[in-house]
Amino acid sequence: MQKFNRNQRITSITKILIENPNKIINLNRFTQLFNAAKSTISEDIVVIRETFNRLSFGNIETIPGAAGGIKYTCGISKEKTLEFAEELCIILQDKQRIVPGEFMYISDIMFNPQIIQKAAVILASKFNKDNVDYVVTVETKGIPLAYEVAKMLGVNLVIVRRDNKVTEGPTVAINYVSGSNKRIQTMSLSKRSIKKGSRCIFIDDFMKAGGTALGIINLLKEFESELIGIGVLIDNIGTEKKLVRDYMSIIKFNGIDEEDNPILYPDKSFKK
């Protein structure tokens, strides 16, 4: 077998790491793929790690032991986070987006992979060290964002449904009161989707009063599991009272101004 030189190994290892965030990859995988010594691969990884650190591209950790290897975790600088949030505010500050009821049309943003990928890195980088087992969301608009966060954390996504689907097998359903309009709603989840004793985070596109998040906390109790974090893209701070306290957001939305333009700004409390 023809050997690979350092440049070739580095481009390949980078690709494999980027596509497997938060997963431990044993160095044997690389020694076999490239027919190279472990020490050679270790040197390659030093180069990749230093470059990633220098450009705030995330971290590459070495995990010792027989089951060890290397693990890439996503990351982004404070400056890039702010820059992203500011750009997003400009895109969203458009009166055309306001639909009757002071709702904002954001589907084009939530379904834009380049935007969602960056937003997911910002949110996921807060939970890299929290041993998250599942990323939970409620259908529909937040699914791509929650999926990307799950990918970055190397875990499965769980989608809570509004209705009961024939393909899900036995489900657990709860009723909850939406915080903003006080209506009773139902959410259901397949019994086999979450293992007992799991640590979950809830990711969504938009938070108003937080009624959905509170519903998720109660639903997870039925699975003897715990919600350890909440992250949303946009936080509506015009809501009088929030039903949940600890959560993170990327952008704050504070209603519309006298010219019907949405008022938005980056969440500055969002620290690295």
Residues that bind a second copy (CB under 8 A): 4, 6-8, 10-12, 14-15, 18-20, 23, 47-48, 50-52, 54-55, 57, 99-101, 103-108, 111-114, 116-117, 139-141, 143-144, 147, 150-151, 154-159, 161, 166-169, 190, 192-193
Nearest CA to 152 among 182, 117, 178, 189?
117
Residue nearer to a second copy on the CB measure, 50 or 86: 50
Nearer to a second copy, 10 or 237 (CB): 10
48-51's contacts with Cβ under 8 Å and 24+ in sequence apart are 48/10, 48/13, 48/14, 48/17
Taking the least distance from each CB to a second copy, the nearer of 4 and 270 is: 4
Single out the residue of 88, 77, 72 nearest to residue 249, CA to CA: 88
> Least distance from C-beta 190 to a second copy, angstroms?
6
Q: Work out how close the CB of 154 gets to a second copy at its nearest, in angstroms, rounded to a whole number.
A: 8
By beta-carbon proximity to a second copy, the closer residue of 135 and 244 is 135
- Shortest Å, Cβ 46 to a second copy: 10
* Dihedral sign of CA atoms 42, 43, 48, 53 in order: positive
Q: Which tokens is 124 given? A: 């996921």
Residue 177 CB, nearest approach to a second copy (Å): 18
Q: Which is nearer to a second copy, 52 or 223 (CB)?
A: 52
Q: How far is the CB of 140 from a second copy (least distance, A)?
A: 5
Shortest distance, position 169 Cβ to a second copy, whole Å: 4
Q: Would you say 6 or 78 has its CB closer to a second copy?
A: 6
How near is the Cβ of 159 to a second copy at its closest, in Å? 6
CB 124 within 8 A of CB 191: no
254, 237 contact by CB (below 8 A): yes
Q: Which is nearer to a second copy, 150 or 250 (CB)?
A: 150
Q: State which residue, 6 or 269, has the beta carbon closest to a second copy.
A: 6
Residue burial 171-188, b: 16+ Cβ < 10 Å; e: rest? beebebebbeeeeeeebb
Cβ(77)–Cβ(271) below 8 Å: no
C-alpha to C-alpha distances, 146 to 45, 111, 117, 157, 226, nearest whole angstrom:
29, 12, 10, 7, 17
- Nearest distance from C-beta of residue 50 to a second copy, angstroms: 7
DSSP states along 53-94: HHTT--EEEEE-STT-EEEEE----HHHHHHHHHHHHHHH--
Distances (CA, A) of 82 to 118, 122, 268: 12, 10, 8
